[in-house]
């Protein structure tokens, strides 16, 4: 089975060598969509013989869908990764072993994502296994149209494959905080837009289903979380992940991760929702 790779980059020089080292072991057709990096990202990509195109970044969903629509990949299957991610040896070998004869009627392949935080794999707190659709037949997949926490969707049947996409979400805490501060704006905006439209889903996003596939179940729990009261739900989420799902077993790194990711980040989103709602009410009273 031959696979083309589509990679999103922006000022990714620090992580790119590790990413490309794993990707070049899988594919000889790697495409990068770069958002006009100002560091050595493009030079590094070209040194690995990656096909580079630059496109203005608006959000992840639009960038990914632009890549799907506009890039001319060599093979029938395409794998989507980000510049902070790399493939495990097991995943590379299992993809190489796939035979087209065994994939008749299959349009997508689900892959586990494993978070790496401060150089530690986060194995507890409900963080693994988390399955994502990252590998699919060209013409059959797209990214759902969400501002944050987007997933790929595919028409037709999917299967799962063993191995991991490892996601290094934190090279340092300052970078983590800056990124999540930006993402909290997107999450708050989308939450308020969905309230205004009185609809949390559309045909262009994955709909939550308690007894659906792994992505649909994850979305169902996310939708249930969003129905809980502001400022209460971050405490409940932290307790669930750190205590009930035993996130404490991931050591000091786990304590930092779950405090920031499942409490601080979610509390910040709620605070921005409250801020935007209050500002709107104050303007209407003036």
**Prediction pTM value:** 0.90
pLDDT at 60: 92
Mean residue pLDDT across the chain: 93
pLDDT at 203: 54
pLDDT at 198: 61
**Residue 120: closest CA among 248, 254, 258:** 254
Domain boundaries, the chain: 3-170, 173-285
Percent of the chain with pLDDT over 90: 81
- In this predicted structure, which of 128-132, 133-137, 248-252, 279-283 has the lowest mean pLDDT? 279-283
Confidence of residue 282 (pLDDT cuts 50, 70, 90): confident
pLDDT tens per residue across span 12-51: 999 999 999 999 999 999 999 999 999 999 999 999 999 9
User: What homologous superfamily does CATH list for 3-170?
Assistant: Spore Coat Polysaccharide Biosynthesis Protein SpsA; Chain A (3.90.550.10)
Greater confidence (52 vs 146) lies with 52
pLDDT tens per residue across span 98-134: 998 889 999 999 999 999 999 999 999 999 989 999 9
- Asked if 75 contacts 30 with a C-beta cutoff of 8 angstroms, the reply is no
3-state helix, strand, coil in the chain (%, to 5): 45, 25, 30
Residue 112: phi and psi, rounded to 5, are -75, 140
In three-state secondary structure terms, 65 is helix
The first and second tokens of residue 275, run together, are 């801020």
CA angle 74, 80, 82 (to 5 degrees): 130
């Amino acid at each position: 089975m031959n696979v083309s790779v589509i990679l999103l980059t922006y000022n990714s020089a620090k992580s790119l060598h590790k990413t490309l080292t794993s990707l070049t072991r899988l594919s000889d057709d790697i495409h990068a969509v770069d958002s006009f990096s100002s560091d050595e990202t493009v030079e590094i990509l070209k040194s690995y013989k990656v096909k580079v195109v630059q496109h203005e970044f608006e959000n992840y969903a639009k960038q990914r869908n632009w890549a799907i629509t506009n890039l001319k990949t060599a093979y029938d299957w395409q794998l989507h990764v980000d510049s902070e991610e790399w493939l495990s040896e097991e995943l590379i070998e299992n993809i190489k072993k796939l035979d087209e004869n065994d994939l008749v009627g299959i349009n997508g392949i689900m892959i586990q994502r494993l978070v790496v935080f401060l150089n530690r794999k986060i194995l507890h707190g409900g963080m693994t296994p988390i399955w994502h659709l990252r590998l699919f037949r060209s013409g059959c997949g797209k990214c759902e149209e969400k501002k944050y926490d987007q997933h790929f969707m595919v028409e037709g049947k999917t299967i799962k494959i063993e191995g991991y996409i490892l996601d290094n979400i934190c090279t340092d805490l300052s970078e983590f905080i800056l990124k999540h501060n930006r993402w909290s704006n997107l999450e708050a905006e989308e939450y308020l837009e969905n309230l205004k439209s009185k609809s949390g889903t559309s045909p262009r996003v994955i709909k939550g289903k308690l007894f659906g596939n792994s992505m649909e179940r994850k979305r169902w729990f996310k939708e249930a979380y969003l129905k809980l009261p502001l400022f209460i739900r971050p405490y409940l989420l932290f307790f669930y992940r750190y205590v009930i799902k035993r996130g404490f077993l991931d050591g000091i790194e786990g304590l930092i991760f779950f405090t920031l990711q499942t409490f601080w980040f979610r509390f910040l989103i709620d605070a921005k929702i409250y801020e935007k709602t209050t500002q709107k009410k104050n303007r209407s009273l003036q």
